[in-house]
Amino acid sequence: MAAIAILGYGTVGSGVYEVLKTNGESIDKKALQPITIKYVLDLRDFPGDPVEDVLTHDFEDIISDDEVEVVVEVMGGIEPAYTFVKRSILKGKSVCTSNKALVAKHGAELLRLAKENNVNFLFEASVGGGIPIIRPIIRSITSDRIEEITGILNGTTNYMLTKMGDEGLEYDDVLKDAQAKGYAERNPEADVEGHDTCRKIAILASLATGRQVNFEDIYTEGITNVSKTDIDYAKAAGMDIKLVATASFTDKGVWARVCPLIVAPDNPLSGVKDVFNAIKLTGNMLGEVMFYGKGAGKLPTAAAVVSDIVDAVRHKNINLGVHWSEEVQPLLDINNVKVKKLVRFAYNDRDAAFAAVNGIFGSVDFIEGIAEDEAAFITSPAEESTVNENVNKLLNSDGISDVLASIRVEYR
């Protein structure tokens, strides 16, 4: 028998409870023993809910109970989650968490402490919700040098961009719709500014390098500036705009970036719609593999947490040995990374403006007819700093009245 404690009876916590109750029989078989929920910690009361029998308001009940083998942290946020997780590990309990903020910030330390205490710190649900991605990177892709990780890691923003594209709606309208549907929070900043995606790619990049990739070091741009018209231009070029996180592991070093990216239809990420997520890995032997599924939601996320619980129970006092040290991985400046950009500009003199573009960027194909007195084009690949300098030159050119958008285009 393995006793567990769930910290937090919110969306994911109640999902974990539900998964364990619904699939208990087959889960116990895979864990090789029955799993019992001994405590659920929450500040609130839940009168009439079956969880009442095991509900506690006091973490000390859990930490002082030596029968509790596994602590499931699904509260979110850094504190008190960090303190509770650390104390649990130091007391010889394994921890499973879905908390990407905690993992991105303290993952390396918590993994070290877990190793020192011969327990496990598992976090499959922190990236990609129900999509198995952490365990495949740690356990399956062990014979490859990972060259790139890229993907759509946030369901809220992907839903919004899909809806803007399919229904021709503006950003503010789809945000309201996403909030009404419960996909976006009342304060949507973590999603729409790319912070959530940034923490997830930081976790994946740390696992790929074995070193701490600080999320603060990752260039991050959200979708708040993406307009319906930008999407129309991308579509006119036969492509789509997605919020894409990329970490690239090259001979010269590592770079990482979260930003709206225009992707071609032959990129499997372009078919990823609505709240779905997809993560594409490129290995030097394997080539490309992609993992696809619902990146969020109560039950998919909870299912990933419970898979970790099974793993923790099966590996009692056997540390699984995840390689992610506290040594910081320096990141290359993305200004030196080669990009293409779709540049959208307004003109007061079409001929002069087009001549200016061709003068600065070489001969390009113009996309016109989307909106009046404006056009767009896609640059040739060059270092980001060079492209930006040229865009600045354009801004000061005859015939050009404004540069309206400048959006990276995938470059393979």
Which of 163, 257, 294, 341 contacts its own copies by CB under 8 A?
294
Q: Which is nearer to its own copies, 23 or 225 (CB)?
A: 23
CB-based burial, 321-336: b 16+ in 10 Å, e otherwise: ebebeeeebebeebee
Nearest distance from C-beta of residue 225 to its own copies, angstroms: 29
Q: Parallel, antiparallel, or unpaired for β 240-250 and 94-97?
A: unpaired
* Cα gap 373→380, rounded to integer Å: 23
Which of 8, 107, 222, 293 contacts its own copies by CB under 8 A?
293
21 is a contact residue toward its own copies (CB under 8 A): no
Residues 6+ apart with CB under 8 A from 230: 241, 342, 344, 405, 407
Which of 150, 156, 248, 307 contacts its own copies by CB under 8 A?
307
Nearest distance from C-beta of residue 410 to its own copies, angstroms: 16
Q: Supply φ then ψ for residue 131, to 5 degrees.
A: -75, 125
* Cα gap 383→168, rounded to integer Å: 32
Interface characters, 318-337, with its own copies (x: CB under 8 A): ---x-x--------------
Choose the catalytic residue: 100, 200, 242, 341.
200
Task: With CB under 8 A as the rule, give the number of residues binding its own copies.
Answer: 52
222 is a contact residue toward its own copies (CB under 8 A): no
**Is residue 37 helix, strand or coil?**
strand
Which of 63, 286, 346, 404 contacts its own copies by CB under 8 A?
286
289 is a contact residue toward its own copies (CB under 8 A): yes
DSSP string, 343-366: EEEEESSHHHHHHHHHHHH-S---
* Cα gap 356→202, rounded to integer Å: 40
Angle at 66 between CA 61 and CA 67, to 5 degrees: 95
Q: What is the CA radius of gyration of the chain?
A: 24
Q: How far is CA 328 from CA 188, 205, 211, 288, in A?
A: 30, 12, 6, 27
Part in contact with its own copies (CB under 8 A); list of ranges 226-234, 250-258, 282-290, 350-358: 282-290
* Cα gap 252→205, rounded to integer Å: 16
Q: Which is nearer to its own copies, 101 or 122 (CB)?
A: 122
* Cα gap 17→127, rounded to integer Å: 20
Part in contact with its own copies (CB under 8 A); list of ranges 102-110, 168-176, 252-260, 310-318: 310-318
Annotation says 200 is catalytic: yes
Q: Select from 310, 308, 269, 282 the least CA-distant residue to 141.
A: 282
Q: Which is nearer to its own copies, 244 or 306 (CB)?
A: 306
Interface characters, 46-75, with its own copies (x: CB under 8 A): ------------------------------
Which of 219, 291, 366, 411 contacts its own copies by CB under 8 A?
291
Part in contact with its own copies (CB under 8 A); list of ranges 142-150, 177-185, 372-380, 392-400: 142-150
240 is a contact residue toward its own copies (CB under 8 A): no
139 is a contact residue toward its own copies (CB under 8 A): yes
Interface characters, 144-183, with its own copies (x: CB under 8 A): xx--------------------------------------
Nearest distance from C-beta of residue 349 to its own copies, angstroms: 43
Bridge partners, residue 280, by sequence: 150, 290
78 is a contact residue toward its own copies (CB under 8 A): no
Bridge partners, residue 73, by sequence: 7, 97
Structure tokens at 305: 């947490």
Which of 7, 71, 89, 131 contacts its own copies by CB under 8 A?
131
CA 205 to chain centre: 11
Structural element, H or E, at residue 273: none
Contact set for its own copies, span 241-280 (CB under 8 A): 268, 271
Site residues, its own copies (CB under 8 A) = 18-20, 22-23, 26-27, 29-32, 124, 130-132, 135-136, 139-145, 268, 271, 283-294, 297, 299-300, 302-304, 306-307, 309-311, 314, 321, 323
Residues serving a catalytic function are 200
